[in-house]
Structure 1
Amino acid sequence: MIPLPLRSCEPTAAEAGAWADVLVRRRLLHSAVRAPNGQWLVQDQPDGPVRVLTGAAEVITLAATIQHRIRSVRPEFP
């Protein structure tokens, strides 16, 4: 796998919101809600615990982790 270049700027709330929306629509997360203080409340399963992410960077990290997990399980096709 080719490593991605490091980001040159911090993720924005809009970027984190877009990723959160995709993760919920694709049913990779049950819910992801941005709190007024910039934190994110994330729940993997309907009856699971609610995790608190401190900001946009943690949402982006979560999205990357989920993508990595999906890609490492799915077989590669040419």
Structure 2
Amino acid sequence: MIPPPPRSFEPTSAEAGAWADVLVRRRLLHTAVLTPTGQWLVQEHLNGPVGVLAGPADVLALTATIQHHIRSTGPESR
């Protein structure tokens, strides 16, 4: 598989919000909330710890990590 070319622009809050919504709807995250400061609060499980992401780039990095984990574990875990 050929890796995608590097991004030539920074991710936006709208893009991060769209990915956060997908992660929550697919139940890969319990919650993801954008704060007024531009940070994101994320929680993997209902009673799990709340993580703080600095901005949209961190949300996309988390999304990539989750996608990589899903793809590397194979179809038997889905």
Report the TM-score when normalising by structure 1.
0.93
Q: Gaps spanning 5+ residues in structure 2: where?
A: none
Distance in 2 between residues matched to 1:2 and 1:61, nearest whole Å: 18
Q: Deviation digits for residues 3-57 of structure 1, max 9, x if unmatched? A: 1111010000000000000000000000000000000000000010000000000
Q: What amino acid maps onto 1:16 in structure 2?
A: A
Q: What amino acid maps onto 2:48 in structure 1?
A: G
Distance in 1 between residues matched to 2:58 and 2:25, nearest whole Å: 19
Count residues in correspondence. Answer: 75
Q: What amino acid maps onto 2:45 in structure 1?
A: Q
Give 4+ residue runs of structure 1 displaced > 6 Å after superposition: none
C-alpha deviation, 1:2, in angstroms = 1.9
Partner of 1:66: 66
RMSD of the TM alignment (CA)?
0.7
Q: Gaps spanning 5+ residues in structure 1: where?
A: none
2:48 equivalent to 1:11? no
SS at match of 1:33: strand
Counterparts of 1:15-26 in structure 2, within 5 Å, are 15-26=15-26
